A = this chain, B = another copy of it.
Amino acid sequence: MEIQVFNSMDYEEFVDKFGNVIEKCPLVAAAVWTNRPFTSLAALEKMFGDFIDLLPPSGKEGILRCHPDLAGRDLLRGTLSSESQGEQIQAGLTNLTVAQRSQLSELNASYKNRFHFPFVICARMNDKDTIIKQLSSRIHNSPEHELNTSIAEVKKICHLRLLDILNRVPHGTKL
């Protein structure tokens, strides 16, 4: 699908298509639509990133807080967004050992207790082992550093979800 197709969309069609490129934050896609026409996928992606960068720290934290825990309650309850579910399955988070599940649960809780937002990582660029390793490491970051790191991960997730929408990456491909 070519970028021109998206330039002809009204805002309702655009938000239907791109509303979850930033997890549970259709506001961002709805704001980005203002800046059409988009000259390229890269230009479109940059607008998502630029909008997030302009938010105050509380807004960046707000975006993170709209993300589910990895291997958390939403995965267990089946209430993840379809994008998140696919990403968590692909990273092997539905196939954890009892010990791994327990370790991840404890790390998630400690992380949230420290930073007041959930651990966010681009699951499709990782697997369950590197996710646990990254979480174990990033929990020691300063709050400011970790906020920046997490927002960079949001942008990686956005990048892959945009590629999916433009059909540049077959669904389920390991990157």
Binding site for B on A (CB under 8 A): 10-12, 15, 24-35, 51, 54-59, 61-63, 65-66, 112, 116-117
In the complex the two chains form, what is the Cα distance from A56 to B65 in whole Å?
21
* Oligomer copy total: 2
A144 to B33, CA, bound (A): 17
The residue that A59 contacts in the complex, of B27, B116, B117, with Cβ under 8 A, is B27
Partner of A61, one of B24, B26, B30, B62: B30
**What is the distance, in angstroms, from A52's C-beta to the closest C-beta of chain B?**
10
Q: Do A63 and B27 touch (CB < 8 A)?
A: yes
Q: Which 4 A-B pairs have the closest CB atoms?
A: A31-B62, A30-B62, A30-B65, A34-B58
- Contact A27 to B66, CB < 8 A, known contacts A11-B116, A116-B11: yes
What is the predominant secondary structure among interface residues of chain A facing chain B? Answer: helix
What 12 additional pairs, Cβ within 8 angstroms, besides A12-B65, A27-B28?
A15-B66, A25-B26, A26-B66, A28-B62, A29-B62, A30-B61, A30-B66, A31-B55, A32-B62, A34-B57, A34-B61, A54-B56
Known: A25-B27, A30-B66, A66-B26. A117 touches B11 (CB 8 A): yes
A65 touching B15 in the complex, CB below 8 Å, given contacts A31-B59, A51-B59, A58-B32: yes
Task: Find chain B residues with CB under 8 A from A27 CB.
Answer: 24-25, 27-28, 59, 62-63, 66
A34 proximity list for chain B (CB < 8 A): 57-58, 61-62, 116
Least Cβ–Cβ distance between A18 and chain B, in angstroms = 12
A31 contacts across to B, CB distance below 8 A = 55-56, 58-59, 61-62, 65
